[in-house]
Structure 1
Amino acid sequence: MSVTICTVRLQIFLQLQAVNKELTSKFESCLGSSPSRVEILHYLLQHEEVAQSALQKEVNIDAAAVTRHLKQLEAAGTIVRYRKEDNQRATWVKLEAEAKRQIEHSYQEKSQFVKDTLAGFSEEELEQFLQMLDRVSENVSRVTKSQLGGEHK
């Protein structure tokens, strides 16, 4: 029985979904957080301290969600929120030292996971794979934009 191109496309799509689900689950377990919280923690890891309002703009998460995440992170002892004497209006945020160490360790675990996941591929194959994924991403964006604009193909 010959496999049609439509069947192959569906198999690729389903496989991409399955891999994404597994990768997301592993990534979140490595870092112990949701993607939004990981983005916040990553930004804080890169900056010694940041105003909460600036953090919200940088991670592009709505203000209420950032506040909710930060309150939970503060309660867990991961971050500290404070006001500076010279500016009582702004709330500043920084990582606790132990949390910073744990996040750096989890990044090492994630890096090893990525290396292990892509083991056996040549540099050329990895570059081709990245180009194909870029094309898939561009196609998804194009299709999404055309559907939002009312154009159905």
Structure 2
Amino acid sequence: MNCSLEQENLLILLKNISNQLKPKFERCTGISSSRYVLLYHLYIHEEVTQSHLQKAIHIDSAAITRHLKQLEADGLVSRRRNPIDQRETFVRLTEQGLTHIANFKQDRNQFVHQMLLDFSEEEVAMMTDMLARMQFNMKDM
């Protein structure tokens, strides 16, 4: 199947948005989008295994270890070995991490508000649905 000009333009737009999103998010919030997603996942789930976290946020094991070591050094997360299975590590936010993620919400909300300026709630819902479908379609590629 050949791509139409519109489909090609869509691909280029998505790539350009992707390239802009991470550095602009980091500039506005002071934290990388990867670390924000990691912290937010912990905020929602309290305590998870490191391997669960890696799969949930779709990064490799070396990257998750690197992020967690830095976040632990910054006092935002704590890690502990599973006493039953020493190969497994549990991760959770510290009190400082909980405060930190709560403070990020305002910066994140401002970033999202600016990014979606002039979009109606219906348009945001439709775009969310379409992007989720795209992501689903790509999962087995």
Please tell me the TM-score bracket, short chain as reference. 0.5 to 0.7
Report the structure number with the largest CA radius of gyration.
Answer: 1
Per the alignment, residue 150 of structure 1 pairs with none
Distance 1:87-1:12 versus aligned 2 partners, 3 A rule = closer
Q: Counterpart of 2:78 in 1: which secondary structure?
A: strand
Amino acid at match of 2:49: A
Amino acid at match of 1:33: S
Amino acid at match of 1:95: L
Q: Over aligned residue pairs, what C-alpha RMSD do you find?
A: 3.4
The answer to whether the 8 A contact 1:56-1:63 is kept is: yes
User: In structure 2, how many angstroms separate the alpha carbons of the residues matched to 1:88 and 1:128?
Assistant: 44
The answer to whether the 8 A contact 2:22-2:33 is kept is: no
Instruction: Report the number of matched residues.
Output: 136
Unaligned stretches of 5+ residues in structure 1: 146-153
Task: Name the % identity.
Answer: 39
- Note the C-alpha offset of 1:32: 0.7
User: In structure 1, how many angstroms separate the alpha carbons of the residues matched to 2:50 and 2:132?
Assistant: 33
Normalising by structure 1, what TM-score? 0.63
The answer to whether the 8 A contact 2:75-2:96 is kept is: no
1:87 aligns to 2:84 (yes or no) = yes
Unaligned stretches of 5+ residues in structure 2: none
Distance 1:66-1:11 versus aligned 2 partners, 3 A rule = closer
Normalising by structure 2, what TM-score? 0.67
Per the alignment, residue 48 of structure 1 pairs with 46
1:33 aligns to 2:32 (yes or no) = yes
- Note the C-alpha offset of 1:44: 1.0
